[in-house]
Amino acid sequence: MDSDRRNFVRHSLVVLGAALTGGPAHAAEKAAGKTCCGGACAAVAATGAAAARAPGSEPDAAREGTPGRKWVMVIDLAKCDGCGACTQACSKMHFVPPDRQWMKVLRMQESEHTAPYFFPQPCYHCDNPPCTKVCPVDATFKRQDGVVLIDNDRCIGCRFCMAACPYGARSFNWGHPQDPPEAKAQHYSAEQGFPRRVGTVEKCDFCPDMAAQGKLPACTAQCPMGALYYGDQNEDAVTNSQGETQRLSKLLLDRAGYRHLEELGTEPRVYYLPPKNRAFPAPPAKEHAR
């Protein structure tokens, strides 16, 4: 809530600044602390802009997020063949144990006669996150760049956020974590989520540390189909593993982008493009349980 209000104030100031100095693009660049201009900066930002600061350097920095950014993901269901490369890449990068997945690939079919499809599902980093609302100790929080993170030095393990998340995006360290030595050796940061702590919650972190270095998250970078796009909503640009950078608003308009379970009002930061004109045949139909 607090950060929402802060964002609102900040946003208002940016708009005011824009009015005074001429043009929203200019204001947005200022907010981002950069000097490129126009449409060109979209591609630059999504593929190779320098980090504004070292990622995960301080706990407070991990709580603030990158100024001027609004990280966003688009998932093209027409291109997903359910190979699971995104899950593997994510699990490898974050040392995710086999009993959980930060990035899932679900097989969906809403009803008996509707089309089955593969459905990659990260954490949605909702703009109205039900998880952060219920946290009793501010261990999980929403940052100004849209990312929802968990501070495992703060989490008390009540698991209210797991009950509150309607998407099942969160996992718990039920026992003592079995992180490999290279994970254990690292300095903990909420932006990377390891080394893990017993009795705390974890989930997809949207790789803001990668994004701040101008790199794509592991899931997006490793998708052989280029089905996952990642980028900055403020720049209206998203990029996939094939190096294709798309204008976000146009992509969503042209391809009838939508958000999963919109009726819940959680305002996800992850958009889906319906599986129309698929690059692959549909997965086999599900046996339909009641």
Partner 1 sequence: MSKRNDERVAETVEADLIAALGPPTRAQKASFLVLGALCAWGAVAYGYQSRHGLAATAMNNYFSWGVYIVNFVFFIGISHAGTLVSAILRVTGAEWRRPITRMAEGITVFALLIGGPMVIVDMGRPDRLHYVVLHGRIQSPILWDVLSVTTYMTGSLLYLYLPMIPDMALLRDTAAPLAPWRRRLYGRLAIGWTGTPDQWRRLERAISVMALVIIPVAVSVHTVVSWIFGMTLRAGWHSTIFGPYFVVGAIFSGIAALLTAMALFVKFFPYLDRYITLDHFKKLASLLLAVNLIYIYFTVSEYLTMGYTSETADRKLLWALFHGEFAAMFWVMAVTGLLLPALLLALPWTRTFWGIVTASVLINIGMWLKRFVIVVPTLSRPFMPVVSLPGQPAHYVPTWVEWSITLGAFSGFCFLYLLFSKLFPIVSIWEVQHADERHAPAATRAAETFEGPAAGREALA
**Residue nearer to partner 1 on the CB measure, 116 or 214:** 116
Q: For the chain, percent helix, then strand, then coil, each to nearest 5?
A: 30, 15, 55
Torsion sign (Cα): 206, 209, 210, 211: positive
* By the rule CB under 8 A, 116 interacts with partner 1: no
* By the rule CB under 8 A, 282 interacts with partner 1: no
Contact between 206 and 73 under an 8 Å Cβ cutoff? The reply is: yes
Q: How far is CA 222 from CA 119, 133, 155, 239, 286, in A?
A: 16, 33, 31, 12, 27
Contact between 231 and 248 under an 8 Å Cβ cutoff? The reply is: yes
Contacts of 110 (CB under 8 A, 6+ apart): none
Q: Minimum distance between the CB of residue 143 and partner 1, rounded to whole angstroms?
A: 16
Q: Minimum distance between the CB of residue 104 and partner 1, rounded to whole angstroms?
A: 6
Which range in 36-44, 142-150, 164-172, 242-250 contacts partner 1 by CB under 8 A? 164-172
Which range in 9-17, 36-44, 104-112, 218-226 contacts partner 1 by CB under 8 A? 104-112
d(CA 266, CA 262): 7
Q: Minimum distance between the CB of residue 134 and partner 1, rounded to whole angstroms?
A: 5
* By the rule CB under 8 A, 125 interacts with partner 1: no
Among 18, 44, 52, 108, binds partner 1 (CB under 8 A): 108
Residues engaged in binding partner 1 (CB under 8 A): 1, 98-101, 104, 106-108, 121, 130, 133-139, 154-160, 162-164, 166-168, 170-176, 197-201, 261, 264, 266, 290
